[in-house]
Amino acid sequence: MPFDFCPPCSARPRIRRERHPEESRLWRYIRAGDFIDGYSVASRATPDDAVGTGLDTPEWVNAAMSLRNRLVGPLGLRTGRTGEAGPLFPTTFWTAEERVIGTDDSHLDFRISILCRDGRVHMATWVHPKTTFGRAYLRAVLPVHGLITRDALRRIARHHPPADSL
């Protein structure tokens, strides 16, 4: 992806780490021992805008995912696509306010919720590790996961700034 600059909204958007809204479909998945996080940013994006912008990954994420795919592919894990148009993971649930994407694998199940309401885009990731390897994998990717999530929300806010900033 080329240099990401949006002149009218070049200020760094404020990302908040917070509990994902209770009405999200994601809460139906939660079981003991699961991981869930939550972030939000002010934005006028619709769920389709947010998915399209937030999951249109920059080159550094594509490079990280390519490395991940080369490392875990021989272990029999799903590797997905990187750098291609279209969603990386299937949409499993959608409403006017929310999209949930994700998949189940042998080592873990995960979903990403993008919920848009009240001038904010909320993004959360739920992970259910199924095996010891799944728990180790989750611990290994969490630092990068947080960077990717905050970067996605930052890009969403820059491309779809809140109405009061226009």
Which DSSP letter does residue 46 get? Answer: -
Report the alpha-carbon distance of residue 122 to residue 114 in Å, rounded. Answer: 6
Q: Is residue 106 part of a domain?
A: yes
> Which residues 6+ apart lie within 8 Å of 67 measured at CB?
none
Full pLDDT tens readout for the chain, 166 residues: 344 444 444 568 999 999 999 999 999 999 999 999 999 999 999 999 999 888 775 565 555 556 555 665 566 655 555 444 445 678 899 999 999 999 898 889 999 999 999 999 999 999 999 999 899 989 988 988 998 899 999 999 999 999 776 5
Q: Is residue 160 part of a domain?
A: yes
Kind and range of the H or E element at 154?
helix 132-159
Q: Is residue 158 part of a domain?
A: yes
The predicted structure's pLDDT at residue 80:
59
Domain that holds residue 114: 22-70+83-165
Q: Is residue 13 part of a domain?
A: no
> Which residues 6+ apart lie within 8 Å of 165 measured at CB?
8, 9, 42
* Strand partners for 91: 101
Q: Is residue 4 part of a domain?
A: no
The predicted structure's pLDDT at residue 87:
52
Q: Is residue 35 part of a domain?
A: yes
Number of domains, the chain? 1
Q: Is residue 90 part of a domain?
A: yes
Q: Is residue 9 part of a domain?
A: no
The predicted structure's pLDDT at residue 111:
96
The predicted structure's pLDDT at residue 72:
58
Q: What is the CA radius of gyration of the chain?
A: 16
Which DSSP letter does residue 22 get? Answer: T
Domain holding 130: CATH number?
Answer: 3.30.530
* Strand partners for 103: 110
